[in-house]
């Protein structure tokens, strides 16, 4: 499993000693220690907010630590102490960071992107020679790309390869990968795993940041676990189980399964019939999709980001008008109607972009709570808002969903991601409750509902969705997390290129099959 | 069509377009680095008045150009400080620069003359045409390209060098990268703040010099509202040129040409009211902008720099 070169085994290339980094009101890292060996794949595991990103930002020169010291042996054989003053300095020292959100310029070619960060770029660019060198490095490390292609034309997996190439081109011998699999299909993730192994075998050291236990066990040699800004442990992966890692990461035992009763299916709540819609750039983004969601079920929508999820959700919530096909909500044809008709018709929406679409950040929690119910009594009467009713509703929902800090008059932008999501869910579920009359189930469309949340908030969100299902609502859940889709959904529709590649039963469909569908191959 | 007429229109178009080309390329540098500076009109008119005043007092046109460049650069520095360091809204700051510039220029025009008097109506030094022997007598293009003043000749260097710099050199790559994504540039070690300051000020210097070309050559002397909205045409030309210095020339010729034709028509006496003719360059601006933004494909492939107008924050938690 461990890939090291003879003679260099256990030779440290990075030692971060007692690193402390404070932000106003938060200690992001407290006495954190991280040791990386030459040619190893070292996972940095922790929940959101555990301090992984901060620690790596220190290592790549973006943040200055408030305490502790950094020692490197990337260009030398012996460890020596160094203060990284800037990202440029860190690059010079041999550290290459591959961010989760790629630092690539879409309108530039691959070669231009690579040259952008290279140290030895001549004043007058020689794109031909650079292209040849990129090809050569790509072949040496098993990362084939076309240097002349524009980045926006590449798939996500290819873009990631460009990011890695960019670091190798400038001579990085330590690669930091920030949640590299978050944007990849399972197959692309496995390809990345192989790339990491071949890089490690040729002496490159890799730190990859993750909060997914499975991939840590699959790809890493050693793992350092962070919890609440402190080092919980550094262990050899072969010595531990998934449950051990989970305990180190969360600080308590974690259940990997979710209690879920069998579906009690109700009436058809949301019916899409041969729906086609254009994206923002006037290209077909949703292509002839037919779906039926019934009350009492969760329909998962799987797919690599950018395959029509956004547009499909906008069609389902009345934000985008389809160019063909029809949408029926609770028996009413709402094709071509606006968002307000969809809301009145019984569709609630938990959007992907919490602060952009979900909340008005500068407004207090109270105003955000009534964003949908402000038209109706008792919240408003004859155009006048009822302060007392608003406060009662806000206080009730804040308490019910445990939104912290729960000051109803504080601006929503002050909440953490998890608490923002709880607030949105509170509002939307309150709306579904109002809309669910008699046998008519309401529709709840939740987009990436747990993305970026910590384990505690994820549990609350998942419970809320399952609870909606239990009381007969029709739930549509868009997610990138296959494990989440498989545990929560009753059926999973897989999108690729704006089309539904298949609607599958999560109980009988393997993760690999889902991956194939996501990559655009139909199952035979 | 009369060959002499075409020759003369081409000559006037080049002459009238020179200040537009210079200021447009300056604004392209500024916008390519992610800063929208709507203060071009203000910087140009300040360049015009201070350039003329400086040249008048020293009887040296080149000194006038120097002062105009410095004044334009200083005004752009104010915009840079407001938008890059203080992260003020770029549109508001740019408009403020234009309002400040037009007001201040009018005031300076009344006091920078001899004994603290007005500059209006004075005859000062001006650039003379330097016909290039042989070439200037070429048919059709000779008059337009080779019988011009040194500022116009300088464009023969400025335009290709700007284009080459932007697309074929490392600093040009960095410049474009900062305007596309400041955070990406920062992550690869490009100094976003320094470059944004530098190219914003460069844009101001070029706008100031462009202004001085008006008061020292095109319509020598100082009058109120000398720039006549050329700064706004520059903003439109940047879009017309799709942020490419080479295409800026085409745009400037077009606008200069419309100007030349309308002057010609006025001189020869037509039934069209002169106010309509005076409007024609601005009508053309609107038409061109509508056409450009309507062409979907064009917008997708060569849109504005993605980071245009977006301030950059560092060492802050996202």
Tell me the three-class secondary structure of A9-63, residue by residue.
Answer: CCCEEEEEEEEEEEECCEEEEEEEEEEEECCCEEEEECCCCCCHHHHHHHHCCCC
Residues of A in contact with B161 (CB under 8 A): none
For A334-346, write each residue's pLDDT tens digit: 999 999 899 888 8
Buried b (16+ CB within 10 A) or exposed e, B3-23: eeeebebbbbbbbbbbbbbbb
CATH no. of A268-518: 3.40.50.300
Minimum CA–CA partner of B174 in chain A: A116
Lookup: tokens for A369: 């709570």
The β-bridge relationship of strands A491-496 and A298-302 is: parallel
Establish if B23 belongs to a structural domain.
Answer: yes
Minimum CA–CA partner of A22 in chain B: B317
CA distance A63 to chain B (A): 7
Contact: A125, B169; criterion CB under 8 Å: yes
Which among B171, B187, B296 has CB closest to A99?
B187
Give the C-alpha separation, A35 to A15, whole Å: 5
- Best mutation target, B173, B178, B183, B307, to test chain A (most A CBs within 10 A): B173
Dihedral over Cα of A312, A315, A319, A323: its sign: positive
**Beta-carbon neighbour count of residue A46 at 10 Å?**
27
Contact: A23, B190; criterion CB under 8 Å: no
**Could you tell me which residue, B108 or A407, shows the higher pLDDT?**
B108
Lookup: tokens for A177: 């990968």
Does the interface ipTM go beyond 0.90? no
Contact: A116, B169; criterion CB under 8 Å: no
From the list B11, B79, B13, the residue with the least C-alpha distance to B46 is B79
CATH code, domain carrying B265: 1.10.3470
**DSSP-assigned states of every residue in A418-485:** HHHHHHHHHHHHHHHHHH--TT---EEEEESTTTT--HHHHHHHHHHHHHHHHTT-EEEEE-S-HHHH
Residues of A in contact with B300 (CB under 8 A): 281
Say what the pLDDT of residue B213 is.
Answer: 96
Contact: A124, B171; criterion CB under 8 Å: no
Which among B169, B170, B184 has CB closest to A104?
B184
Contact: B187, A103; criterion CB under 8 Å: yes
Contact between A109 and A166 under an 8 Å Cβ cutoff? The reply is: no
Question: Residue A2's pLDDT band (boundaries 50, 70, 90)?
Answer: very low
**Could you tell me which residue, A216 or B300, shows the higher pLDDT?**
A216
Q: E strands of A237-283, at which residues?
A: 268-278
Contacts of A217 by beta carbon, 8 Å cutoff, 6+ apart = A237, A242, A245
A39: exposed, middle or buried (Cβ count in 10 Å: 0-12, 13-18, 19+): buried
**Could you tell me which residue, A427 or A453, shows the higher pLDDT?**
A427
Question: Residue A77's pLDDT band (boundaries 50, 70, 90)?
Answer: confident
- Best mutation target, A105, A108, A122, A123, to test chain B (most B CBs within 10 A): A105
Q: Is the pLDDT of residue B316 over 80?
A: no
Interface A-B, measured as beta-carbon pairs within 8 A, has a size of 64
Which among A88, A103, A121 has CB closest to B184?
A103
Residue B134 backbone zone (phi > 0: left; psi -120 to 50: alpha; other: beta)? left
Q: Is the pLDDT of residue B151 over 90?
A: yes
Residue B59 backbone zone (phi > 0: left; psi -120 to 50: alpha; other: beta)? left
A311: exposed, middle or buried (Cβ count in 10 Å: 0-12, 13-18, 19+): buried
A80 interfacial to chain B (CB closer than 8 Å): no
Task: Match 């000398």 to its residue by tokens.
Answer: B226
Contact: A115, B173; criterion CB under 8 Å: yes
Please count the residues of chain B.
318
Establish if B256 belongs to a structural domain.
Answer: yes
Give the containing element (helix H, strand E) for A71.
Answer: strand A67-72
Give the containing element (helix H, strand E) for A249.
Answer: helix A242-250
A123 interfacial to chain B (CB closer than 8 Å): yes
Contact: B185, A116; criterion CB under 8 Å: yes
pLDDT mean over A417-432: 87
Tell me phi and psi for residue A210, to 5 degrees. Answer: -155, 155
Lowest mean pLDDT among A116-120, A188-192, A421-425, B79-83: A116-120
Minimum CA–CA partner of A153 in chain B: B301
Minimum CA–CA partner of B183 in chain A: A103
Which among A89, A117, A124 has CB closest to B188?
A117
Contacts of A10 by beta carbon, 8 Å cutoff, 6+ apart = A4, A37
Give the C-alpha separation, A432 to A263, whole Å: 19
Residue B229 backbone zone (phi > 0: left; psi -120 to 50: alpha; other: beta)? left
Say what the pLDDT of residue A215 is.
Answer: 86
- Best mutation target, B34, B171, B183, B184, to test chain A (most A CBs within 10 A): B184
Establish if B309 belongs to a structural domain.
Answer: no
Q: What is the 3-state secondary structure (H, E, C) of A181-248?
A: CCCCCHHHHHHHHHHHHHHHHCCCEEEEEECCHHHHHHHCCEEEEEECCEEEEEEEHHHCCHHHHHHH
**HSE, side-chain direction, 13 A CA sphere, residue B102:** 18
Sheet holding A222-227, edge to edge: A95-98, A174-178, A205-210, A41-45, A222-227, A230-236
For B270-293, write each residue's pLDDT tens digit: 777 878 877 887 888 788 777 776
Question: Residue A121's pLDDT band (boundaries 50, 70, 90)?
Answer: confident
Contact: B187, A281; criterion CB under 8 Å: no
CATH no. of A1-94+173-256: 3.40.50.300
Which among B174, B188, B296 has CB closest to A282?
B296
pLDDT mean over B243-254: 89
Buried b (16+ CB within 10 A) or exposed e, A182-211: bbbbbebbbbbbebbbebbeeebbbbbbbb
Contact: A117, B174; criterion CB under 8 Å: no
Q: CA-based diameter of chain B, in Å?
A: 67
From the list B241, B32, B271, B237, the residue with the least C-alpha distance to A105 is B32
Q: Is the pLDDT of residue B298 over 60?
A: no
The B-side interface with A (CB below 8 A) comprises 168-171, 173-174, 176-177, 180-181, 183-190, 296, 300, 306, 315, 317
Give the C-alpha separation, A244 to A242, whole Å: 5
Contact: B188, A103; criterion CB under 8 Å: yes
**Could you tell me which residue, A223 or A121, shows the higher pLDDT?**
A223
Q: Share the mean pLDDT of chain A.
A: 87
Establish if B295 belongs to a structural domain.
Answer: yes
**HSE, side-chain direction, 13 A CA sphere, residue B8:** 11
Task: Name the A residues in 81-100 with CB < 8 Å from any B CB.
Answer: 86-89, 91, 97, 99
Contact: B315, A104; criterion CB under 8 Å: no
Residues of A in contact with B312 (CB under 8 A): none
Say what the pLDDT of residue A4 is.
Answer: 40
**DSSP-assigned states of every residue in A142-155:** T----TTSBGGGS-
- Best mutation target, B161, B186, B187, to test chain A (most A CBs within 10 A): B187
For A288-326, write each residue's pLDDT tens digit: 999 999 999 999 999 887 889 999 999 999 999 999 999
Residues of B in contact with A122 (CB under 8 A): 170
Contact: B173, A62; criterion CB under 8 Å: no
For B28-44, write each residue's pLDDT tens digit: 999 999 999 999 999 99
**Could you tell me which residue, A259 or B48, shows the higher pLDDT?**
B48
Residues of A in contact with B180 (CB under 8 A): 105-108
Say what the pLDDT of residue A436 is.
Answer: 59
Residues of B in contact with A281 (CB under 8 A): 296, 300
Establish if B317 belongs to a structural domain.
Answer: no
Lookup: tokens for B179: 């305007």
Give the highest mean pLDDT range of A22-26, A78-82, A119-123, A372-376: A78-82
Give the highest mean pLDDT range of A22-26, A404-408, A433-437, B16-20: B16-20
Residues of B in contact with A91 (CB under 8 A): 188-189
Q: Which domain holds residue B129?
A: 3-301
For B114-134, write each residue's pLDDT tens digit: 888 899 888 889 998 888 888
CA distance B136 to chain A (A): 34
Say what the pLDDT of residue B297 is.
Answer: 54
Contacts of B249 by beta carbon, 8 Å cutoff, 6+ apart = B17, B21, B155, B159
From the list B67, B69, B53, the residue with the least C-alpha distance to B110 is B53
Minimum CA–CA partner of A124 in chain B: B169
Residues of B in contact with A23 (CB under 8 A): 317
Question: Residue A33's pLDDT band (boundaries 50, 70, 90)?
Answer: very high
Task: Please report, for chain A, the start and end positions of each structural domain, with discontinuous segments joined by +.
Answer: 1-94+173-256, 108-172, 268-518
Contact: A116, B186; criterion CB under 8 Å: no
Establish if B153 belongs to a structural domain.
Answer: yes
Which among B170, B183, B184 has CB closest to A125?
B170
The β-bridge relationship of strands A80-82 and A95-98 is: unpaired
Q: Confirm whether A1-94+173-256 and A268-518 share one CATH topology.
A: yes
């Amino acid at each position: 499993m461990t890939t090291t070169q003879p003679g260099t085994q256990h030779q440290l290339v990075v030692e971060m000693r007692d690193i402390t980094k404070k932000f106003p009101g938060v200690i992001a890292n407290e006495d954190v220690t991280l040791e990386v060996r030459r040619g190893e794949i070292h996972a940095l595991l922790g929940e959101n907010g555990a301090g992984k990103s901060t620690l790596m930002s220190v290592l790549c020169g973006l943040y200055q630590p408030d305490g502790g010291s950094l020692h490197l042996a990337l260009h030398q054989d012996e460890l020596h102490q160094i203060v990284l003053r800037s990202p440029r300095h860190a690059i010079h020292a041999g550290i290459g960071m591959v961010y989760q959100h790629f630092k690539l310029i879409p309108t530039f070619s691959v070669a231009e992107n690579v040259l952008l960060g290279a140290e030895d770029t001549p004043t007058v660019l020689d794109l031909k020679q650079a292209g040849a060198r990129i090809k050569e490095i790509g072949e040496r490390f098993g990362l084939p790309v076309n240097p002349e292609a524009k980045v926006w034309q590449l798939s996500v997996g290819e873009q990631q390869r460009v990011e890695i190439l960019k670091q190798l081109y400038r001579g990085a011998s330590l690669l930091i990968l920030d949640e590299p699999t978050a944007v990849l299909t399972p197959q692309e993730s496995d390809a990345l795993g192989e790339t990491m192994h071949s890089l490690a075998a040729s002496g490159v050291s890799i730190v990859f940041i993750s909060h997914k236990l499975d991939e840590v066990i699959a790809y890493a040699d050693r793992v350092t676990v962070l919890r609440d800004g402190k080092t919980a442990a550094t262990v050899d992966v072969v010595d531990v189980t998934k449950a051990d890692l989970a305990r180190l990461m969360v600080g308590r035992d974690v259940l990997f399964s979710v209690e879920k009763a069998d579906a009690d299916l109700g009436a058809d709540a949301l019916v899409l019939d041969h729906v086609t819609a254009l994206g923002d750039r006037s290209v077909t983004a949703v292509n002839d999709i037919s779906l039926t969601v019934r009350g009492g079920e969760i329909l998962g929508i799987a797919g690599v980001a950018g395959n029509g999820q956004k547009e499909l959700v906008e069609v389902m919530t009345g934000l985008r008008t389809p160019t063909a096909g029809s949408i029926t909500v609770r028996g009413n044809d709402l094709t071509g109607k606006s968002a307000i008709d969809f809301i009145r018709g019984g569709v609630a929406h938990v959007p992907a972009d919490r602060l952009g679409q979900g909340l008005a950040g500068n407004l207090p929690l109270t105003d955000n709570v009534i964003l949908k119910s402000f038209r109706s009594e008792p919240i408003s009467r004859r155009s006048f808002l009822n302060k007392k009713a608003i406060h009662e509703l806000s206080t009730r929902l804040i308490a019910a969903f445990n939104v912290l800090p729960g000051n109803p008059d504080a601006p929503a932008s002050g909440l953490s991601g998890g608490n923002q999501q709880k607030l949105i869910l509170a509002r939307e579920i309150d709306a579904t409750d109002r809309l669910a009359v008699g046998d008519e189930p309401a529709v709840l469309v939740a987009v990436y509902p747990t993305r970026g949340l910590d384990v505690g908030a994820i549990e609350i969100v998942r419970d809320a969705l399952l609870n909606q299902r239990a009381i007969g609502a029709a739930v549509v859940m868009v997610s990138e997390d296959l494990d989440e889709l498989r545990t929560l959904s009753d059926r999973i529709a897989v999108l690729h290129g704006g089309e539904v590649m298949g609607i599958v039963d999560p109980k009988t469909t393997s993760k690999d099959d889902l991956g194939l569908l996501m990559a655009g191959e139909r199952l035979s | 069509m009369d060959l002499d007429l075409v020759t003369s229109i081409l000559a006037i178009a080049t002459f009238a377009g020179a200040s537009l080309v210079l200021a447009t390329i300056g604004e392209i540098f500024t916008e390519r680095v992610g800063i929208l500076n709507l203060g071009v009109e203000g910087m140009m008119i300040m360049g015009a008045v201070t350039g003329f005043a400086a040249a008048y007092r020293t009887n040296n046109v080149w000194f006038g150009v120097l002062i105009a460049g410095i004044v334009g650069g200083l005004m752009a520095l104010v915009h840079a400080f407001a938008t890059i360091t203080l992260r003020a809204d770029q549109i508001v700051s740019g408009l403020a620069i234009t309002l400040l510039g037009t007001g201040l220029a009018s005031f300076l025009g009344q006091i920078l003359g001899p004994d603290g008097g007005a500059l209006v109506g004075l005859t000062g030094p001006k650039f003379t045409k330097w016909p290039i022997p042989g070439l200037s007598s070429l048919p059709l293009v000779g008059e337009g390209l080779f019988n011009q003043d040194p500022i116009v000749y300088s464009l023969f260097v400025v335009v290709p060098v700007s284009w080459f710099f932007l697309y074929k050199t490392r600093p040009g790559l960095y410049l474009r990268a900062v305007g596309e994504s400041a955070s990406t540039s920062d992550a690869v070690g490009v100094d976003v703040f320094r470059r944004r300051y530098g190219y914003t000020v460069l844009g101001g210097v070029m706008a100031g010099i462009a202004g001085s070309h008006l008061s020292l050559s095109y319509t020598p002397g100082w009058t109120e509202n000398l720039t006549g909205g050329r700064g706004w045409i520059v903003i439109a030309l940047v879009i017309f040129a799709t942020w490419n210095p080479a295409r800026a020339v085409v745009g400037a010729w077009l606008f200069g040409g419309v100007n030349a034709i309308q002057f010609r028509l006025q001189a020869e006496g037509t039934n069209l009211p002169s106010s309509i003719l005076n409007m024609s360059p601005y009508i053309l601006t609107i038409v061109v902008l509508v056409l450009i933004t309507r062409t979907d494909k064009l917008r997708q492939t060569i849109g504005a720099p993605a980071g245009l107008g977006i301030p950059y924050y560092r060492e802050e938690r996202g």
